[in-house]
Amino acid sequence: MRIRLARCHSCLWGFLLVLPIVPVSAGWKELAPMPTPRSMTAAAHWDDTIYVPGGLGGLRSFEAYHVPTDTWRRLTPLPSGRHHLMCAAHAGKIYVFGGADEQWRATRTAWVYDPETERWRTLTPMPEPRYAAVAVSLGAYIYAVGGDGPTGRLLRYDPAQGSWALLAPPAQRRDHTGVAAQGGLIYLIGGRLRDLGDLRSVEIYDVKRNRWTPGPRLRNRRGGVTALVLNDIVYALGGEVVAHPRRLLDTSEVLDLGGARWRDGPELPVPLQSAASIAVQGSLYLIGGSDRIIGVRNHGRVFRYNPNALNGR
């Protein structure tokens, strides 16, 4: 067994986790683990810090990872416990939307956290309950994409006005999906639907036209997948397939922005579903998640993938 000790230089706590020894694939490096292991969460990045709220079990935990020092610290807890929630950073604030409460009831939660005051504030609720969705900041707005709720419509929040708008729905409703955004486009990737199981389909939303179009299909079905854009490449990472044969995925797929075909991406250091991912300073961070199919087994592990490491840079 391997023992990892991490301390935050800006506070007086530390934590100790015992983790199994697992070989780390090429290009990946294991970092300090989270104080609170979790899955079914989200992550947001602002400046040199990654913020991770809530998690399965209705956690109120809210923690921040400082990228330059590889350390974590605990922040002011969420006003209420949430899992399957959304999180996005916008103009120096951290926004948390939707999610399910401790009783698995979908919520219309809308909160904002100010890192300067370390306080939460309640915002205008979402137009409808939504969980297992993803929030992305793009231009002047934050978009709530996919998820389980009364409708499958795209939701747009205006932080300047504190108001919500209902936009065009994708052709295929889905939850536990991957979402990546850049250049006025939002990619809705894989996920699952109760009647259809895990999906390969991809849809792309054009912000200016308020229109969805079909995108290149994934090579593999992926529910519980996480996605992001790094260096103009869309990554779809891990996930699971719950139909027989059931399998947990340690693979990824990549797509050039505007490209027509997915190709094999980096192998994950461990198979994971329902992890959070974020791009920071040219690297990809994979945070939390479960290494058990159709279940939860968290170790709070955090990995960084640097594509330049494969080229010796």
Per residue in 185-210, pLDDT (tens digit) is 999 999 999 878 999 999 999 999 99
Calculate mean pLDDT across residues 164-180: 97
Any domain includes 161: yes
Q: How many CB atoms lie within 10 A of CB 208?
A: 8
Any domain includes 9: no
Any domain includes 21: no
Judged against a pLDDT cut of 50, whether residue 16 lies above it is answered with: no
For the chain, give the longest Cα–Cα distance: 54
Per residue in 70-96, pLDDT (tens digit) is 999 999 999 999 999 999 999 999 999
Domain count, the chain: 1
Pairing of strands 141-145, 155-158: antiparallel
Average per-residue pLDDT in the chain? 90
Those residues with Cβ within 8 angstroms of residue 21's Cβ, 6 or more apart along the chain or in another chain: 1, 2
- pTM given for the model: 0.90
Any domain includes 239: yes
Any domain includes 167: yes
For 310, which DSSP code?
G
> What is the span of the domain harbouring residue 106?
29-311
Any domain includes 24: no
Q: Report the CATH number that the domain containing residue 106 is assigned in CATH.
A: 2.120.10.80
